[in-house]
Structure 1
């Protein structure tokens, strides 16, 4: 899902957008299936996108909008659809390779069996052979059978060598597909699904080994203003800039992710409040220290600032609970004037 669509869904106009999507689908006589709804969500919220232009072309004709049409559009324009298509392609190639190897092995097995029968027959004939002519014929038969075995063995070796290269190539491709499935395409940070999985896993590990874990949520201040003033491409530039700073400072074992829209998340495994707060303030100060310029026109965009809320995990606390406390701290940062870092624990102590 594009940053523009995510931003629209997380803003005050989200419900109005949902109504427009349903109304548009009804006008087109299209059933509101999950896939159709996702396509129409892009169509309504981002009318200038390649997907929207293709949908406009299809809807302008007399061809009905079928499930096959929806799947075709998803495969071409939606990241998840393209990913599924890639996985299917890799699976098809791998199946063909396995079938070819199985055929080569079966041919070699049949040739070996035939060779064994030839040897048995030759042994019986040699026992009753009378003279050089009979022996010469037997030797000729054995030589021919041996050449056939050598040929099939050589063919099998070449087929296995070729398949080994193809399997290695497929393995590399699948690894790239796996990385793509875990990564946000715009920012190259971990995506929301990866973040959710990592947070759950790291919370379980923290509970087991007794080490600390701190979670931070980061929100770009006044991000809608960048989009409204300069356009969504400039908004994407701002997202990539913030992500680059987060990604550099939040290196392994820390986990930086795009949480949704203009919001990011950083997991600090084994780190406590003091260390994390210093790191978050360093991120905040570095982001604000640079004045961005619009790439297409070199216009001055001004400084970008972020608001941050973070929470250190308590013993026995779930991932969802840590997330909720960090989100509450982020809300306090935004309500307190933005461009600041709020600690959920300090916030709770102040309220006590």
Structure 2
């Protein structure tokens, strides 16, 4: 979810948005299935987002909004939809490989049973010279059985080797899918899901080990006005630019994420408030120092500025509480003129 939707569905406004979604689906003659309801929450919660724009386009075209349309939109725009499809495909490949290996094992087992019976029969005949018959025939029978089991064993080895390659490729593919599901496609930073998981884990580690943990929330100033003036493609260019600066600064163990919309977040494990503030001011200055140009027309876009709020985790503080303090510090930066970095403690004292 974008930050607009993520924030709204966890606030009292969620009920209003839910009612609006149902009313909008009814007006558009769209059935309120669970998938359609989720799509409409995104559509109304962030109408300027990629999914919101695509639904607007479909509705304007007058085309019927079918179940297949909903599934297509979910697969393209909702990370869970893409991940589910990849998992289904991987499961089908894995099932085929397991079936092929099982078939090869069955043939090898059958060949071994036959070979065992042949050896037992030969042993019986050798134990009774009167029944041994022609020795050449006996040797030929054993040789034929040996060649047969060798063929089946070789076939099983080839099948296992091939399946091992396929499973390795599948494992690598699923690892890439996992990375994609945790990565924002526009900026290549961690996405909101990855950010939430990292923050919860690092808060637990900070509580147990007593280490420092800082969190910054970063917002592009006047981004909506910028989008309205220059269009969403140019807005995406700005998001990628800000993301690239944050990506360079937030080397491991720091973690940079696109928090949603025009907001970003950076986690600072093991750093002091002074070091965090210095790093964030460095980012702020670098981003604001470059005059951007529109790629399609080379128009001068001017400078982009950011507002930042950050906090350092207190003992016993949850991830949500740390996030709320950093967010309040961000809004303190905005209220005091934007293009600045505000520490959470400073935000509290200013509000008092």
**TM-score > 0.5 by shorter chain:** yes
Asked whether the 8 Å contact 2:125–2:131 carries over to 1, the reply is no
* Counterpart in the other structure of 2:338: 338
* Counterpart in the other structure of 2:155: 155
**Change beyond 3 A, Cα 1:294–1:189:** same
Question: In angstroms, what is the RMSD of aligned CA positions?
Answer: 3.0
**Mapped pair 1:60 → 2:63:** yes
Asked whether the 8 Å contact 1:7–1:262 carries over to 2, the reply is no
Q: Deviations over 1:262-282 (max 9, x none)?
A: 111111000110110000000
The Cα of 1:187 is off from its aligned counterpart by: 1.0
* Counterpart in the other structure of 1:236: 236
Gaps of 5+ in 2: none
Q: Deviations over 1:188-225 (max 9, x none)?
A: 11111111111111011111211111111100000011
What number of residue pairs does the alignment pair up? 346
Asked whether the 8 Å contact 1:311–1:325 carries over to 2, the reply is yes
Partners in 1 of 2:342 and 2:77 — Cα distance? 39
Asked whether the 8 Å contact 2:74–2:81 carries over to 1, the reply is yes
Asked whether the 8 Å contact 2:288–2:305 carries over to 1, the reply is yes
Gaps of 5+ in 1: none
Partners in 2 of 1:249 and 1:224 — Cα distance? 25
The Cα of 1:114 is off from its aligned counterpart by: 1.3
Partners in 1 of 2:221 and 2:272 — Cα distance? 26
Partners in 2 of 1:54 and 1:118 — Cα distance? 71
Partners in 2 of 1:215 and 1:4 — Cα distance? 20
Asked whether the 8 Å contact 1:218–1:264 carries over to 2, the reply is yes
* Counterpart in the other structure of 1:199: 199
Map residues 212-291 of structure 1 onto 2, 5 A cutoff: 212-291=212-291
Partners in 2 of 1:37 and 1:56 — Cα distance? 19
* Counterpart in the other structure of 2:323: 323
The Cα of 1:166 is off from its aligned counterpart by: 0.6
The Cα of 1:129 is off from its aligned counterpart by: 3.6
**Change beyond 3 A, Cα 1:139–1:97:** same
**Change beyond 3 A, Cα 1:293–1:180:** same
Asked whether the 8 Å contact 1:306–1:338 carries over to 2, the reply is yes
**Mapped pair 1:112 → 2:112:** yes
Partners in 2 of 1:48 and 1:296 — Cα distance? 24
Q: Deviations over 1:72-116 (max 9, x none)?
A: 442355443222111110111011111111211121112111111
Which is further off, 307-316 or 14-23? 14-23
* Counterpart in the other structure of 1:36: 36
* Counterpart in the other structure of 1:308: 308
Partners in 1 of 2:77 and 2:348 — Cα distance? 45
TM-score by length of 1: 0.89
Asked whether the 8 Å contact 1:195–1:257 carries over to 2, the reply is yes
* Counterpart in the other structure of 2:347: 347
Partners in 2 of 1:305 and 1:3 — Cα distance? 19
Partners in 1 of 2:199 and 2:7 — Cα distance? 23
Partners in 2 of 1:4 and 1:201 — Cα distance? 24
**Mapped pair 1:170 → 2:170:** yes
Aligned structure 1 segments of 4 or more residues deviating by more than 6 angstroms: 2-10, 13-20
